[in-house]
């Protein structure tokens, strides 16, 4: 709705348009499109896992998966779309390889391969017979094909500032709330409000934690994260073939995707990330409760 109303010049809480075009970037009432795409990816990664590993669960959410996919694409967050494509390909070709070993190629696999082939032909035809200049605005900010590189450059420079903040105090961190202020100080800016601090947030959540907690605090964070993934894997194995096992693994897969996505965004304090971590923890405890007496 937001997208189509925007095409008719009706601003339905739209925050951004494609540069020099009337095409809206869907933000779903959040403050900007990439934020919207990033939190939608949590559910998308989960449903993607179900698609390749438990079709019974996925069948209940086909329409949801389609709507989320369309919404994420219309958000036009290039990083979100890149990870959608990457994670889909990882699971698809893994599934195709395993099915090939068993000598049982699924109809869905053949259908997806046909879509890939048709898409490739259409893209090549578009490149050969149409004026690419008309769609290069889609790559603005990436630096590809001579387009501006402001988005990629900004992410890179913000990550370097975050790393420099850590190097200035490697053992005693600045706290999560203090990283932005420290980055601003490096640039000779004194932050006097939350709005100003927002402009200097760290880039890459792992670098941000490193700068916020110092090297020792960062090690504890990594150990905790490793423990979370290890326990979730063990509990899912104990609950093997139960629905809760697939839910644990789907949330685990989603967390991996979300953490990778946030390596190119800011910041670790995004609420939906911690909601996802909480959901994974709850699913682990449900799995343990349903399988009491079995050794972890």
Query: What is the DSSP code string of 60-125?
Result: TTHHHHHHHHHHHHHTT-HHHHHHHHHHHHHHHHHHHHHHHHHT---HHHHHHHHHHHHHHHHHHH
pLDDT of residue 13: 64
Of 44, 49, 47, the C-alpha closest to 60 is 47
Band the pLDDT of 75: cuts 50, 70, 90. Answer: confident
Report the chain's mean pLDDT, rounded to a whole number: 82
pLDDT of residue 130: 67
What is the per-residue pLDDT across 187-239, written as a single tens digit (0 to 9) for each?
888 888 777 877 777 778 899 999 999 999 999 999 999 999 999 999 999 88
Q: What does the alpha-carbon distance between residue 89 and residue 91 come to, in Å, rounded to a whole number? A: 6
For residues 250-279, average pLDDT? 90
For residues 45-73, average pLDDT? 92
Lowest mean pLDDT among 87-96, 120-129, 234-243: 120-129
Of 3, 76, 87, 5, the C-alpha closest to 42 is 87
Residue with tokens 């670790």: 268
More confident residue, 42 or 194: 42
pLDDT of residue 84: 92
- C-alpha radius of gyration, the chain, whole number: 22
Which range, 114-118, 194-198, 279-283, is most confident? 279-283
For residues 123-134, average pLDDT? 67
CA angle 74/78/80 to nearest 5° reads 80
What is the per-residue pLDDT across 256-266, written as a single tens digit (0 to 9) for each?
999 999 888 76
* pTM value > 0.75: yes
pLDDT of residue 19: 65
């Amino acid at each position: 709705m937001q997208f189509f109303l925007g095409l008719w010049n009706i601003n339905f809480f739209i925050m951004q348009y494609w540069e020099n075009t009337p095409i809206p970037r869907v933000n779903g009432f959040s403050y900007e499109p990439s934020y919207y795409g990033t939190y939608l990816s949590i559910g998308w990664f989960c449903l993607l896992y179900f698609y390749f590993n438990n079709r019974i669960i996925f069948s209940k959410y086909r329409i949801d998966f389609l709507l989320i996919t369309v919404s994420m694409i219309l958000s036009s967050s290039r990083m979100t779309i890149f990870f959608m494509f990457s994670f889909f390909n990882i699971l698809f070709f893994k599934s195709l390889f395993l099915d090939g070993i068993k000598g049982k190629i699924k109809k869905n696999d053949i259908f997806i391969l046909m879509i890939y082939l048709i898409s490739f032909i259409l893209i090549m035809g578009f490149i050969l017979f149409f004026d690419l200049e008309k769609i290069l605005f889609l790559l603005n900010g990436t630096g590809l094909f001579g387009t501006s590189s402001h988005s990629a450059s900004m992410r890179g420079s913000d990550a370097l500032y975050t790393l420099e903040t850590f190097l200035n105090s490697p053992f005693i961190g600045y706290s999560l709330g203090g990283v932005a202020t420290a980055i601003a100080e490096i640039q000779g800016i004194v932050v006097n409000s939350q709005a100003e601090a927002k402009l200097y947030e760290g880039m890459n959540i792992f670098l941000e934690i490193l700068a916020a907690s110092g090297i020792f605090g960062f090690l504890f964070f990594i150990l905790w994260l490793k423990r979370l993934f290890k326990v979730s894997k063990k509990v899912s194995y104990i609950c093997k073939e139960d629905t809760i096992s697939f839910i644990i693994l789907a949330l685990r897969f989603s967390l991996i995707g979300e953490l990778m996505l946030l390596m190119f965004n800011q910041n670790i304090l995004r609420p939906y990330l911690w909601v996802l971590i909480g959901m994974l923890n709850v699913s682990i405890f449900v799995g343990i409760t349903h399988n009491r007496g079995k050794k972890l």
